[in-house]
Each structure stands twice: as C-alpha cells, then as structure tokens.
Amino acid sequence: MAMNIYESAEDYLEAILIIRERKGVVHSVDIAEEKHYSKASVSVAMKRLRENGYIRMEKDGSIFLLEPGEEIAVRIYERHKVLKDYFMSIGVDEETAAKDACKIEHDLSEITFEKLKDDILRRTRS
C-alpha cells in the first residue's frame, strides 16, 4: 500500500509506536527525548500529524495513533526491524545496522522489501 507521507512524518509515527510499546502512553516530551528533537519541533510536527488525521491528542497531552497513522508506523517499524536484523546477520554491528536501516526503511520499494523478507525466510528455513 503506497502512502504519500514525508519521511519525517513516518519517523514521528514510528517513534510514537516504539514509545507506546515501551511506556504504554506517549507525550510530546517523550518523542523529543527519543528523537533528540526540540520540543518546539515536535509540537509543530504533532499539529501537522493531527491535522492530517494520523494522531489524536488528548487534553492531558497523551498522543494516540489513529488507524492511518498506526498502519504507517507498523509498516515502517517492521521494515526497520527486518533490515536491522538482516544487516546484523551479515556481520554489521548493531549501531551501524540500526542507522543504515533508518536510512533505507523509507525509500525501499514494497516489491524489494517483500523479496528481501522472502529471501531471509528462505535462508532461515535452510
């Protein structure tokens, strides 16, 4: 499923998902700490994500992914995990593998990503 969304928005949605998995609840300050961004930058991004229907913000500042945001976050996070694990399996250190996965998780076509996943599965079954 192709979605037109900026890479930075995908990064924010992925961060919300990761923080939610770790802490249960997400606030803008958590995202700022996770991504090493200023609170002002996160605030602007959250406003855009809210206006575009990707997140909902409660009065207490809690941030929740709406269905379109959840779909994007899950897709990007899966790509990140698969790519990072693959890079580590061929001998790349964890830090480099994570950085490289971040660089290409947004740009890799769906076709190439699915073929890569298939190849990884085939190799692990052998």
pLDDT digits (tens, 9 = 90+) for 15-45: 999 999 999 999 999 999 999 999 999 999 9
Q: What is the pLDDT of residues 51-68, one digit of tens each?
A: 999 999 999 999 999 999
Selected from 1.20.120.1770, 3.40.640.10, 3.40.120.10, 1.10.10.10, the CATH number assigned to the domain covering 7-71 reads 1.10.10.10
Task: Strands of 50-96 (E only): list them.
Answer: 55-57, 63-65
Contact call for residues 106 and 6 (beta carbons, < 8 A): no
CB 12 within 8 A of CB 45: yes
Domain ranges of the chain: 7-71, 74-125
Is 1.10.60.10 the CATH classification of the domain at 74-125?
yes
